[in-house]
Amino acid sequence: MQRNRNTSVMQFALNARLSYIRVKYLFLMWLVVFVGSWVVYVQYSTYSELCRGQECKTIICDKYSQGIIDGSACSNLCEESSLYFRRCLSTKPNNQVYTSSWGDQYGVIKCQLGDVLHYELGEEMEPKKEIALFDKPTRGTSVEKFKEMVASLLKAKVGDQAYLSSLVALILSVADSNKDGHISLPEAKSAWALLQHNEVLLAVVLQGREHTPRLLGFCGDLYVVEHVPHAPLYGLSLPWPMELWIPTGMRLSMDQWFTPSWPRKAKIFIGLLELIEDIFHGTFGSFLMCDMRASTFGYNDRYDLRLVDGRYVVAEEAFKQAMILQRCEEDEDCVYGVDCRTACDRAEHRCMAELAQPNLARACGALKDYLLRGAPFHLQEELRKQLYACSALKGSAEQMEMEHSLILNHLKTFLWKQISHTNDS
């Protein structure tokens, strides 16, 4: 009797334990399913919010089919589907960036859906919420009149200079997308919309130079550029829950983990110095690079630097004109892009026109750690000294032209000397 009672108590205890384990597993499974679907949902909603390639295509192809716009990429994109969107690279919903296939060419499609950096003389330097409307030039505008429009837009951007007419001719040759020697109204509308993008203007100005990706084609203000195989320059991209847990100091050194060997980094940096030389007093005026972060640059398989994001490269003249119209209370209000700063005239509540630090100084400051890390021991002291002198340059480039070119040439020669005997040069 006693034995029977003991057995049934044990059975009861065993059953209770089994059902407890079952409930625990059920709960765990439910938790996994819940967290899993939440992650999938967050990923999906982030993706659908960020990746609006289809929307871009629909808007552009609609305008093309209505005969409003035309360009070298239109029929391939909209009719033959030989140009198509591949992987989404966008990090902002209004700035669509996709890798693309176009025949055997691997490129990158860029298309703006919201904020277009669009400013003209007399306007505040605020990004305006506006999608290209393709309302200019209007029907009936002659080619001569269109030329004048382009010339005055360029004059406002790059200033009045001797080569303005050849820049206009260059823009018009790009606008004539089917190369029939005639610019149709849809071609002119596309060219006008494209010209509002800093990146496109820069690609045209620097065409033939090797540090900006080539412009492969366009349709309206959607454009395709060469794909840069290694972009950004460095930096790990981690899922945001992980980002929250990593301290800034550790993050900075983690970013430098997967970078090329030092001679290759030196070659990439020389590329940056060459780009800075190209746009400082170049044929078509000076440009300011106002986003000197690693994400702005990339490099190809031969370790030649490429500028992958030219949205904040502005003509110096346009920058000055816009800056003096900007109202301010303190210096912090006088920043354009990421790092182009001027001082605030507190009496007048207006920003000053002169840039605090030239492109060269900001480049040295931003990429100092990148270049110093892994440098041969016997070079470190000299390199540190040169980078320090470079990043301490103040004032606009014209004000200290001599010092600017001395520092730039010193640094370039120094780096060349170190790598000229290696295979990478």
Ligand X SMILES: Nc1ncnc2c1ncn2[C@@H]1O[C@H](COP(=O)(O)OP(=O)(O)OP(=O)(O)O)[C@@H](O)[C@H]1O
| Residues at the site binding ligand X, with contacts judged by CB under 6 A | 89, 91-92, 95, 97, 108, 213, 225, 227-228, 231-232, 295, 298, 308-309
Taking residue 284's Cβ as centre, other Cβ atoms within 10 Å add up to 23
Instruction: For residue 309, state whether it binds Mg ion (rule: CB under 5 A).
Output: yes
Shortest distance, position 226 Cβ to Mg ion, whole Å: 16
Cα–Cα distance for residue pair 149/144, rounded to 1 Å: 9
Which of the listed partners (Mg ion, ligand X, none) does 267 bind, with a CB threshold of 5 to 8 Å by partner kind? Answer: none
108 binds, among Mg ion, ligand X, none (CB under 5 to 8 A by kind): ligand X
For residue 217, what is the DSSP state? Answer: E
Instruction: Measure the CA–CA gap between 156 and 274, rounded to whole angstroms.
Output: 26
Binding to Mg ion, residues 31-90 (CB under 5 A): none
Report what 374 binds from ligand X, Mg ion, none; CB cut-off 5-8 Å by kind. Answer: none
C-beta closer to ligand X: residue 108 or 383: 108
CB of 307 to Mg ion, least distance (A): 10
By CB under 5 A, name the one of 161, 295, 405, 425 that touches Mg ion: 295
In the numeric block, which tokens belong to residue 115? 């904020």
The distance of closest approach from Cβ of residue 235 to ligand X in the complex, given in angstroms and rounded to an integer, is: 9
Binding segment (CB under 5 A) for Mg ion, from list 20-28, 223-231, 259-267, 306-314 = 306-314
CA 236 to CA 388: how far, in whole Å? 26
Smallest distance, Å, CB 297 to Mg ion? 9
Distances in Å between the Cα of 399 and the Cα atoms of 37, 251, 278, 396 are 59, 37, 18, 6
Q: Where are the alpha helices (DSSP H) in 159-283?
A: 164-175, 185-195, 198-205, 240-245, 248-255, 262-279
Tokens 């080539």, residue? 214
Characterize 401-411 residue by residue with b for buried, 16 or more Cβ atoms within 10 angstroms of its Cβ, and e for exposed: eeebeebbeeb
If one counts every other C-beta atom within 10 angstroms of the C-beta of residue 264, the result is: 19
* 3-class SS of residue 225: strand
Q: Supply the minimum distance, in Å, between the C-beta of residue 296 and Mg ion.
A: 5
CB-nearer residue toward ligand X: 198 or 321: 198
Q: Which of 210, 217, 232 is nearest to 111 (CA)?
A: 217
Q: Which does 187 bind (CB under 5 to 8 A by kind): ligand X, Mg ion, none?
A: none
Number of residues counted as binding Mg ion (CB under 5 A): 2
Least distance in angstroms from the C-beta of 53 to ligand X: 13
Angle, alpha carbons 396-400-404 (nearest 5°): 95
Query: Applying CB under 5 A, which part among 206-214, 243-251, 307-315, 347-355 lies near Mg ion?
Result: 307-315
State the nearest-atom distance from the C-beta of 309 to Mg ion, in Å.
Answer: 3
Judged by beta carbon distances under 5 to 8 A according to partner kind, the member of Mg ion, ligand X, none in contact with residue 72 is none
Is the Cβ of residue 132 or residue 290 nearer to Mg ion in the bound state? 290
**Residue with the CB atom nearest Mg ion in the bound state:** 309
What is the side-by-side order of every strand in the sheet holding 215-219? 83-88, 95-102, 105-112, 222-226, 215-219
| Residue 185 binds: one of ligand X, Mg ion, none (C-beta under 5 to 8 A by kind) | none
Q: Which residues bind Mg ion (CB under 5 A)?
A: 295, 309
